[in-house]
Structure 1
């Protein structure tokens, strides 16, 4: 096992900022010894579940709060993350199904000559979706829930959307075999910056949502720029924290797999002793057989010689 220092040293190599991987098969199979067809079925069911969930959420919030202006749904950071999570499950289901059929279920490191573009896209989407899901959950339950009084953020559907997203991300991370790179925190940081620019541009240009409000969240009100900037900085810190959490969860998953499923490099002491005894016995038996064969050959030669004389 590598030391923590060595692991971190290897993790922060410049090439780990990219989307290449020496074994692309890890993105389309489970860490655990499941039948590949069952894993594909799992991916398809999850994708269908998220599609149904996001459609129900858009319809529910539009009918109750947006007065048929469904596009307001897309202004909120939570829903950006929700869209990314749904899109990731769809792309992952398609990739798993395609490569499982193409490889006839025999997916390993030798199947791929290089990292396919679809799997690079999948890895990028997953980093964005998983990281932002955790950031959204932390933000909601640590301060938005206590400081925000908008009804649409306090519904049971909203609470579920801000909790089950991270529950799914963690459980799925422990099932799949995809790796996590700390350097990939740059992707969600860039996405967060894009959202902050979009949010500021929309509301500073007289954009409104419910009841004429000029902000999506009261902690991201650009009429109070200092508070909004602090919120953005806090979200960057949460993004870094979330990526580190994901990295360590993936490392724990790999360790558990090696602990319970991969063969040990060294046998226990009593097994080693037993192997030594068996090897010694085998050597003795071979030596005895050789001696017997030699004696038989000698006796045969003597008999033949006597017959000649």
Structure 2
């Protein structure tokens, strides 16, 4: 449920006073049904400008503070992503071993984190510079904002996969007798999730429950790749036929079961990110009510959708 649905809830409550349990249940059921529509599955938003805004900024124009934050995180991602490829601690390893950087899901996930950060920063930078030159900035006519679908998809995948990689790595894969606990290991298996969590709490764009298929497609692609790699005789950096101990296709039964369980876990993580998004909106809405309660971007979006009694969600004040 997005802002339009919130408005409908408020409208029903105001219209009926104190609705009985059946009224509330029917209303909530109808709103949940709206989650399972083609529109909810699509990577499309009526106002692309929301993808370059922070939930907490003053207004609906590109913010210098937010731009600074995005540049810091993007430069961090680019620098650490590059260092992970160079892998200074293994410079003397054979070239074929160094090329195996490509086979690890950790590096796929960190690449997704880097790509989504670069895309958002690029869109925000261009829009900020154009806004300073008083150029027109609307979701309909600013060409750079056409990238929002690519960014949104990459952001969904990066967030869910980052959480999954961190939890699964430390719970099931990390072996202190074989793996070094160095700075790069911490960056790609801890900072990946930490930065994506911080970003999830700062950005203004929505998380849709029905976008769970995005990380699932990414995961399916990796599973297919790992099978092909195994059948082709590929090995990991240690010479093992299994890229990861839990992804050993010489034992197909248990590996298929693990893949199914991990897929379900990724769906759970997407639901978790959706809940964090809803909590972010709820906290902000509460702060708006405590503050001046001025109309904001989200309220305007709600009015565009034809809502009655819109609930302000993104304040024009810093919170």
| TM-score class, shorter | 0.7 to 0.9
Equivalent in 207, 222, 226 of residue 234 of structure 2: 207
Alignment partner, residue 162 of structure 2: 133
Equivalent in 88, 100, 122 of residue 116 of structure 2: 88
Alignment partner, residue 317 of structure 2: none
Alignment partner, residue 81 of structure 2: 54
Alignment partner of 1:189 is 2:216: yes
Alignment partner of 1:19 is 2:60: no
RMSD: 2.7
In 2, the alpha carbon distance for the partners of 1:191 and 1:58 equals: 21
Equivalent in 265, 278, 287 of residue 251 of structure 1: 278
Alignment partner of 1:102 is 2:130: yes
What is the Cα deviation at residue 182 of structure 1? 1.2
**CA offset digits 1:234-281 (Å, max 9, x no partner):** 22111101110111111111111111125559xxxxxxxxxxxxxxxx
* Structure (1 or 2) with the greater helix fraction: 1
For residue 233 of structure 2, give the secondary structure of its aligned residue in structure 1.
Answer: coil
Alignment partner of 1:229 is 2:247: no
Alignment partner, residue 20 of structure 2: none
**CA offset digits 1:130-166 (Å, max 9, x no partner):** 11101111211222226x86425x5453234211211
**CA offset digits 1:105-124 (Å, max 9, x no partner):** 9899x822289430111101
**CA offset digits 1:50-88 (Å, max 9, x no partner):** 111111222226726853332211100111000110111
The structure with higher relative contact order (CA 8 Å, sep 6+) is 2
* 1:206–1:214 Cα contact (<8 Å) kept: yes
Alignment partner of 1:166 is 2:190: no
After superposition, the Cα gap between the structure-2 partners of 1:203 and 1:117, relative to the gap in structure 1 and judged at 3 Å, is: same
**CA offset digits 1:24-72 (Å, max 9, x no partner):** 2210010012570111121112111111111122222672685333221
For residue 138 of structure 2, give the secondary structure of its aligned residue in structure 1.
Answer: coil
The answer for unaligned runs of 5 or more in structure 2 is: 1-5, 10-23, 295-319
For residue 242 of structure 1, give the secondary structure of its aligned residue in structure 2.
Answer: helix
Alignment partner, residue 122 of structure 1: 151
Map 1:139-158 to 2 at 5 A.
Answer: 139-145=168-174, 150-151=178-179, 154-158=181-185
After superposition, the Cα gap between the structure-2 partners of 1:114 and 1:144, relative to the gap in structure 1 and judged at 3 Å, is: farther
For residue 199 of structure 2, give the secondary structure of its aligned residue in structure 1.
Answer: helix
Q: Which deviates more from structure 2 when the two are superposed, residues 135-144 or residues 169-178?
A: 135-144
Equivalent in 219, 230, 239 of residue 246 of structure 2: 219
* 1:19–1:123 Cα contact (<8 Å) kept: yes
Map 1:22-33 to 2 at 5 A.
Answer: 22-33=46-57
* 1:66–1:210 Cα contact (<8 Å) kept: no
In 1, the alpha carbon distance for the partners of 2:234 and 2:101 equals: 14
* 2:50–2:204 Cα contact (<8 Å) kept: yes
- When Rg is computed on C-alpha atoms for both structures, the one with the higher figure is 1
The answer for unaligned runs of 5 or more in structure 1 is: 266-309
What is the Cα deviation at residue 104 of structure 1? 3.7
TM-score w.r.t. structure 1 length? 0.76
